[in-house]
Structure 1
């Protein structure tokens, strides 16, 4: 009998001490597409560092035959397993290079890479070759990817979306016990961070999350209200000075400077696609630009260098919450 599962149902049955084994065929509704798995995928290509690290955290590295789209070094605990997996490209790999790996499944972090207007390919193109595709639900739930370059969040991101995504992947690969273990660990860390923040009693603290800029003298890509950075700020009681619901809108420095954020969180990454990918260049710009240098955060040295992947809805977002909480404490902003 075909098992039709939803994220909510998966979340419910993985809370048990020992989750039930997957019953195949397993059908999931994935970003508007019904995908049926007759068995656990034998191999996969993962597109997006967040997707890759979730698979590694589920002990599925032996199922990963290739990766692409990297922003920073892999998490230290995955260095050895990642070294054994072929990196097809630091940025977007070609459709041909993915197909050459003969994967049973392609897992994409972003619908923009594998979707109706996929920059790498459409789901239909993979399907025509007998390759299934799966997009992380964190990029689809409550989000319209047809609006704005990186999509627009219609509902705020929450870590519940991340935990449900992990549960669903664990069910697809029939590793539910490992999925439940991973979710429990992340929940415990998030809870501890919340408790730490609650003791701070922070008031009137604001921030801007700066991801990158095509060129340093152009408007930066900053975090909107409803993405992962917005969740980090909400968790810590910090106001986001950017009002947009777009995932990463471009906003002028004059507008940001008028809002005068208490803290600037700047993305640190190894990718060098744009001029401002380099954290040192970000710092240099903030110190020298006649507008940006006048912000309270710059004058007082309240610039947090946060790995870019902690600004995405993946397992590193928990580390982002912990890092910003520690920074606020070190700046003496707690009441």
Structure 2
């Protein structure tokens, strides 16, 4: 009888056994965020997120009920229309096109999830420090963590940043099992996609975000680096110790890309991938590049190319393009 009781009471730490249990909603938890230990006294219940990919992380973890609302630049965009969580965006609350102290205070936010150049900015005064003074906790997007070299960003490979954030959020919101489930599924998806280009030459890929006078692209610390490399290509600016950054056209021409990966969003100059492709095809210095001569262009939405739960599907889609599947 005692053995039966011990088995029944095992989860309650009876009969001399100790079993780890999830911390309660009011138990403080500590995570490492951008190299610093950050403690959260309780599970946040009025979260404001900034940007599409950041918001989608909350949705992927099933945390929409913890959100006071989200901030994105318009709700009728390619990002929202193509989002696997489109229904969550529609049922959630779009607070504003631009984040500010007034926006988060207006919904009594107790937690803001954003990042440097993803909402946080000294120029606007919207920073983790300024929110802390208002009693609002913050979590910083790991892809956008500053790395100690001026304002350059990125402290780890982009997919590792995604997994780090999912696991940290899992701990903060007490959904660690869901976070691990997502990470495992993403890792398996990426491994399958990587096999499509095994044994084949790795094409040189130029990530074109925007800019006609000077191109805006991705260094080794932003999501396109891993999207490109895990799909079987080589980022031509993978040597730059930065995330999203401006380069010059001379450097693009010298690196002679085989493929151009275009970010699909309105940048104020050329608003569609087709317009961006037309610009590149009409740009004389690139006329002899293999990418332009072979019309090797591929596009993905902005939210698929910043840190987000869309990154694994982006790897798969780009791998299929490179492999001609």
TM-score over 0.5 for the pair: yes
Correspondence for 2:5: none
Whether 1:96 and 2:105 are equivalent positions in the alignment is no
Q: Give the distance between the partners of 1:62 and 1:158, measured in 2 at CA.
A: 27
Whether 1:311 and 2:316 are equivalent positions in the alignment is no
Whether 1:135 and 2:140 are equivalent positions in the alignment is yes
* CA separation of 1:43 and 1:156: change in aligned 2, threshold 3 A: closer
* CA separation of 1:89 and 1:146: change in aligned 2, threshold 3 A: farther
Correspondence for 2:316: 322
Q: Give the distance between the partners of 2:117 and 2:247, measured in 1 at CA.
A: 24
Quote how far apart the aligned CAs of 1:44 are: 0.3
- Are the equivalent residues in 1 in contact too, given 2:79–2:302 (CA < 8 A)? no
Structure 2 residue matching 1:27: 3-state secondary structure: strand
- CA root-mean-square deviation: 2.5
Quote how far apart the aligned CAs of 1:65 are: 1.5
Structure showing greater Rg: 2
Structure 1 residue matching 2:193: 3-state secondary structure: helix
Q: Give the distance between the partners of 1:32 and 1:226, measured in 2 at CA.
A: 15
- Are the equivalent residues in 2 in contact too, given 1:68–1:88 (CA < 8 A)? yes
Mind listing any 5+ residue stretches in structure 2 that lack a counterpart? 1-19
* CA separation of 1:20 and 1:298: change in aligned 2, threshold 3 A: farther
Q: Give the distance between the partners of 1:44 and 1:187, measured in 2 at CA.
A: 28
Whether 1:77 and 2:84 are equivalent positions in the alignment is yes
Aligned pairs (5 A) from 1:1-335:
20-23=21-24, 24-70=27-73, 72-74=78-80, 75-90=82-97, 92-110=98-116, 113-114=119-120, 117=122, 119=124, 121-140=126-145, 143-144=146-147, 147-148=150-151, 151-153=152-154, 156-198=156-198, 201-213=199-211, 216=212, 218-242=213-237, 243-269=239-265, 272-330=266-324
Structure 1 residue matching 2:261: 3-state secondary structure: strand
- Are the equivalent residues in 2 in contact too, given 1:266–1:279 (CA < 8 A)? yes
* CA separation of 1:273 and 1:100: change in aligned 2, threshold 3 A: farther
Structure 1 residue matching 2:49: 3-state secondary structure: strand
Quote how far apart the aligned CAs of 1:34 are: 4.3
Quote how far apart the aligned CAs of 1:273 are: 4.4
Q: Which runs of 4+ in 1 moved over 4 A?
A: none
Deviation track 1:123-158 (CA, whole Å, cap 9, x = no partner) reads 232222221111123322xx426635xx244x5514
Structure 2 residue matching 1:127: 3-state secondary structure: helix
Correspondence for 2:4: none
Mind listing any 5+ residue stretches in structure 1 that lack a counterpart? 1-18
Quote how far apart the aligned CAs of 1:258 are: 2.7
Give the TM-score taking structure 1 as reference length: 0.80
Give the TM-score taking structure 2 as reference length: 0.83
* CA separation of 1:276 and 1:121: change in aligned 2, threshold 3 A: same
Structure 2 residue matching 1:257: 3-state secondary structure: helix
* CA separation of 1:204 and 1:107: change in aligned 2, threshold 3 A: closer
Structure 1 residue matching 2:274: 3-state secondary structure: helix
Q: Give the distance between the partners of 1:43 and 1:63, measured in 2 at CA.
A: 6
Q: Give the distance between the partners of 1:256 and 1:144, measured in 2 at CA.
A: 25
Number of equivalenced pairs? 300
Structure 2 residue matching 1:209: 3-state secondary structure: strand
